[in-house]
Structure 1
Amino acid sequence: MTANILFAAQSESWDRYQTPLTRALDRTGLAYDLRLDFAPDQVDYIVYAPNSSVQDFSAYSRLKAVLNLWAGVEDVVGNPTLRVPLARMVDHGLTRGMVEWVAGHVLRHHLGMDAHITGQDGVWRTQVPPLAQDRRVTVLGLGELGRACAASLAILGFAVSGWSRSPKTIAQVTTHHGDAGLAAALAAAEILVLLLPDTPATANILNARRLAGLPRGAIVINPGRGALIDDAALLAALDSGQVSHATLDVFRTEPLPADHPFWAHPRVTVTPHIASATRESSASEVIAENIWRGETGAPFLHLVDRALGY
């Protein structure tokens, strides 16, 4: 039996994905038909980007699963017409990209590189940074991306703590969980990395009270989601010196508006949502494997827990 696969994303995504996804599906040995358009009652799987034109799933009567092309599912998980399994994108390329971006910026702030890169003013700056073992880094969020980043920072020698909603165990990482553990995780964060999902429970998790719980002069690095931070509270903490610098890759509105105060603040680095991106070749392998699983009766990988939102 042929598996009918609807590719529901922007046209430029089809241009990038058609060849690698076809190759990955061919390697499964399945009979399939991959298209941009089907009658809804003929679709078995939807390869999906939340910004596609497909927003009502109720007509897809034989649909087996929706396979998200993005790591984030906050724009689809609450859709009341979606009643089949939803898989998020967990992709080796995406994970490695995030690890490299996070490690690069943690090392940048740990070593004080900005002073030497921008301070070409004739001043001989001799301050030596501590070793990584003496620098405390905390990662909030220990899902696939957070676990990988925490583990990699620990391998580099940093004193790493992590926090998650439920208990996690990671070699060489001190882990905390639940409401009680959050204060302890923040108190250990000379450098704080935010890698939580965007859910009602995580909105503004870094507010004025929690920013005050950081060591004075802490660094905030956010490649997770813009809604994790109360922007006004962060700006106030930067102005007071409670936070010495914020490197931000994600924002509530993207692109970040030209008049947003983050652009002009001397203690903020803005990067344009480039910390990590899905690589078409490796993402296609993930999609193809889940379709193979659906057709052979194996359990789907990377399913979203609707109650938790990720």
Structure 2
Amino acid sequence: MHLSPSNLVGIGLRSPHLTQILDQQPAIGWLEIHSENYFNPTSAARQQLRQIAENYPISCHGIGLSLGSADPLDRRHLSQLKQLVDELNPMAVSDHLSWSSINGQFFNDLLPLPYTEQALHHFCDKVGQVQDILGRQILIENPSSYLRFTHAEMPEWEFLHQVQQRTDCGLLLDLNNIYVSGFNHGFDCHTYLAALDASAVKEIHLAGFTVKQLEAGEIWIDTHSKPVSEPVWQLYRDWLRLHGAVPTLIEWDLDIPELPVLLAEADKARHILRQEAPHDTLIAP
């Protein structure tokens, strides 16, 4: 993948903006789709995506592989994903460090894993199967979480690092997820970031979160429904100074604003990237 320094920032392609992006072709570096929304090769959305992909690099971000589940991989799902990937040749294919199914029944959530050696072996096996079927590296995204398993044998960052080392997958680093989980579980964000192989990070997500007050106290929810918070922007600055430029996405999935609002967030990310990343780390055209 080669993106110019001015085109390293993208936005999530969401249905309210499909026609507008197709007609107006705004100045944005790339677009990320939720893969499952485009599995039907004869749908109107898939046809629009084909047209959009003529003008923008596309990243395929999945939410349905359920890699951490004890269920076997869904072969039909994988076949549909492979067809989409083969057609688009996207700049990246990604999914989550999570699970969402049991006995073939799916939850509408990305659920946390027990960070044990047994779960690690199982997750790595699933990642390996997917990469073999797709014939390419996939990226694994760190989750946001609100509960932890008491019998965890390692912290999340060590588990994620081991997944990457054992499978040679790439990493999709969601800085908002780290910030939210860091508050919910009381860990330091920089400890998390320092444990990862920075060279394996191929994409960064930036998003907003919601603060919720419960009887037991405050919890932060990764809603993707607000602008990026200033502490997450600061984490982004810190990462760029240490490790350089990475393709960066503004992610907004609920209470989706008008397209100019998303583009303004992307402009802010682009400005920070140019300001903070060492010049020699910018990806040449």
- TM-score of the superposed pair, with normalisation by structure 2: 0.33
Q: Rg: which structure is higher?
A: 1
Q: TM-score, normalised by structure 1?
A: 0.31
